Structure 1
Amino acid sequence: MILCDERFMARAIQLARQAEPQSVSPNPHVGAVLVYDEDPNDVRIIGEGYHKKRGEGHAEVECLRSVRDEDKFLIQHATMYVTLEPCAHVGRTPSCASMLVERGVPRVVVGTTDPNPLVAGKGIDILRSNGIQVLVGCLSLECREVARVFMTNQERHRPFITLKWAQSQDGYMDRQRTEGSPIIFSSPFSAMLVHRERSRHSAILVGARTILLDRARLSNRLWTGNNPAPFVLDPRGESFDVLATYDDAKRWTVVTTKATMDAVDHHTFKVLAVDREEEMLDGLMTHLMKDEKTSLLVEGGSYTLSSFISAGLWDEARIEKAPFDLFEEGIKAPDLSSARKVDSHTIDGRVIDLYRRFSER
């Protein structure tokens, strides 16, 4: 009887996390471990791998490739632990399920099934129909977590959405202003971590007020990796003149209405125009998925963030609380009191709270 040894699946999950999010996107994070376990006195890992980059070898391929020549004869006496069901279709790479059959792997432990309609149980069927023992569900929640962006894309047909903002201890994001610099809530180190978070997302969005008042550039200049594609939610065209001054305006996409765009003679930025303001968020979701933007970071301001919360369009929220109060009637931060806090830690005196939302949308 094939058993789930959680130690080896935990290692596969650890491997899956090593991939850079934007390197594998739109594919999932997947890790695999090959364990020789026929001799109870000599149980050992003989191969490890994870999916590193879109278009390159999947985790199972990399795992088998890593087996040393002197251990290759053990492949036919080993168990593969893989965080996600092996793929059944031929795309940029061959079918992993068929490859495992060809290589003679006798047992496979799968963390979770693949919701992609091209796979969705077909990989497991290929394995079982060829006599391979398969166990499904070993550390399934943890395996879904490591592939949460992909799971959201497939099951909710939209990007994985992270909300991010900073606020004072008494719950204000900014003072009321029409000009001038914003209040700095972050320390230099926590600001760098924000840029790391940007580098992990394929798109980033703010509202028109953030462009107007802060001249936001939305880059991850304090961290390595590609900049996320910048979007502005702007139904009335308030940000157009500022965006026109940006030297990288062609990278930006403004989400607005067709009526607003009809009044514009010329623009250098890209436009996503919908019939009505109420359709902007749904139109954005469709556009992002079509363009393989699998994750979206929403940075504000308060009205924009609240719009996503009200629409139920968020999965994770990262809130940074500075160690001071504003003691004034400023701009209140959105309310997430009914959401589930899953983590809280302190960096440079700033409390970073992480919230998760679990829903059907």
Structure 2
Amino acid sequence: MPNHQLYMQRCLDLAQRGAGRVAPNPLVGAVLVHEGRIIGEGWHQQYGGPHAEVHCVQSVLPQDQDFIKVSTLYVSLEPCSHFGKTPPCAQLIIEQGIPSLVIAMQDPFAKVNGEGIRQLQEAGIEVTVGVMENEARTLNKAFLTFHQQQRPLVTLKWAQTADGFIGKTDTRLLISNDNSNRLVHQLRANHAAILIGTNTAITDNPSLTNRHWPGASPTRLVLDLQDRLPKELSMFHDGLPLTIFSEQRSGTEGLVNYVPLAADTDSIPQILHWCYTQGLNSLLVEGGAQLLQSFIQSGKWDEAIVITNTVLLAGDGIVAPELSGHKFSNEIHYSTDTIQYFQRL
């Protein structure tokens, strides 16, 4: 009896390597197994590039080519059945003569959504679905949220002092340590977009880029409804694209794209809808307190990451947001910092 979970775990591990590089596509890994031996493996490495199944088949050594037709293919997501930026993987599997397929989960994307499985079964391929499905769904939570809720996965992140403040009103307050900062840059690399509000932009003058973790920087978004951002801020002069949500402006000025929002209307649904139309499947909200609390009150968030410096006291300043409707998920410690993970109920 083959150990389906062993090989599917390998698929999930491979899929994770594409984090920060394949959005809005899903993270997918594939493993080809012949009589208990992996003869090929691959993962989706770059948006617009070959899918995991293609890399897997191409990795099979010449001396193992004859085994393809008597092997089992493990894939963490249902193979695609349509022509997009690449040909359909279901057709590749059929053409290769692979007799058996094990899939972690069905693809919710409207152009697939069971069609790949149907085509494979009609071709006489034995298909097993649901091996480590929960783990696969967790891996692709951004992809699933994007297609099932028509909005990006929203992660809230802030750092706070031991006495519950996230900053001062008029000057930048450095709270988290170097290890926590690297985690923040990992978060930026793994999210398609990052959002802050006007006050955070003015007080911190941040770059909003990923500089300390492998991978790309997220699309930079600032909510500045009343056009208060001074043009001296570094984000206007670093040669990188910037999107500003505004009730006062629209159009493009150089690398700055002003997206108009309807006045006297909740801005959060408008921002999330815009992200959806742009194919941004995950959004990291880094502040400030007012913006974070607005997301919490709206219920339009999925995860929260709170970094607490357990020894730093601010005395006064901007009070940290207060989570509601959530459950505790995990906790890790980096020297003076405690990092807590929460999920929305």
DSSP 3-state at the match of 1:194: helix
Equivalent residue runs for 1:292-307 within 5 Å: 292-307=279-294
Amino acid at match of 1:158: R
> Aligned partners of 1:55, 1:74: CA distance in 2, in Å?
29
Residue in structure 1 matched with residue 17 of structure 2 by the alignment: 18
Where does the alignment leave 5 or more consecutive residues of structure 2 unmatched? none
Equivalent residue runs for 1:42-57 within 5 Å: 43-57=36-50
Contact 1:302–1:333 (Cα < 8 Å) also in 2:
yes
> Aligned partners of 1:168, 1:340: CA distance in 2, in Å?
21
Which of 309, 327, 334 does residue 340 from structure 1 map onto?
327
Contact 2:161–2:313 (Cα < 8 Å) also in 1:
yes
Q: TM-score, normalised by structure 1?
A: 0.89
Amino acid at match of 2:259: L
Equivalent residue runs for 1:1-361 within 5 Å: 5-21=4-20, 23-37=21-35, 43-175=36-168, 177=169, 179-180=170-171, 182-243=172-233, 246-248=236-238, 251-257=241-247, 260-261=248-249, 269-324=256-311, 326=313, 328-336=315-323, 338-358=325-345
DSSP 3-state at the match of 1:209: helix
The answer to which of 220-229 and 266-275 deviates more is 266-275
> Aligned partners of 1:340, 1:159: CA distance in 2, in Å?
20
- Residue-by-residue CA offset, 1:282-311 (whole Å, 9 max, x unaligned): 221122122222221110011001111111
> Aligned partners of 1:281, 1:306: CA distance in 2, in Å?
11
Contact 2:206–2:235 (Cα < 8 Å) also in 1:
no
The answer to which of 92-101 and 116-125 deviates more is 92-101
- Residue-by-residue CA offset, 1:301-344 (whole Å, 9 max, x unaligned): 11001111111221221111102253634322112254122111
Deviation at 1:169, TM superposition (A): 2.1
> Aligned partners of 1:174, 1:7: CA distance in 2, in Å?
46
Amino acid at match of 1:213: T
> Aligned partners of 2:227, 2:208: CA distance in 1, in Å?
19
- Residue-by-residue CA offset, 1:161-213 (whole Å, 9 max, x unaligned): 111100012322124x2x23x22111122212212221222211111001122
Contact 1:244–1:268 (Cα < 8 Å) also in 2:
no
Deviation at 1:277, TM superposition (A): 4.1
Where does the alignment leave 5 or more consecutive residues of structure 1 unmatched? 38-42
> Aligned partners of 1:85, 1:333: CA distance in 2, in Å?
42
> Aligned partners of 2:75, 2:214: CA distance in 1, in Å?
29
- CA 211–242 in structure 1, closer or farther in 2 if over 3 Å, else same: farther
Contact 1:232–1:253 (Cα < 8 Å) also in 2:
yes
Deviation at 1:249, TM superposition (A): 7.3
Amino acid at match of 2:34: Y
Deviation at 1:261, TM superposition (A): 3.2
Deviation at 1:219, TM superposition (A): 1.9
> Aligned partners of 1:189, 1:5: CA distance in 2, in Å?
37
Amino acid at match of 1:167: Q
Deviation at 1:115, TM superposition (A): 0.4
Amino acid at match of 1:252: L
CA RMSD of aligned residues (A): 2.2
- CA 242–309 in structure 1, closer or farther in 2 if over 3 Å, else same: farther
Deviation at 1:245, TM superposition (A): 8.0
Amino acid at match of 1:342: S
Amino acid at match of 1:27: N
Identity value in percent? 36
Contact 1:244–1:269 (Cα < 8 Å) also in 2:
no
DSSP 3-state at the match of 1:84: coil
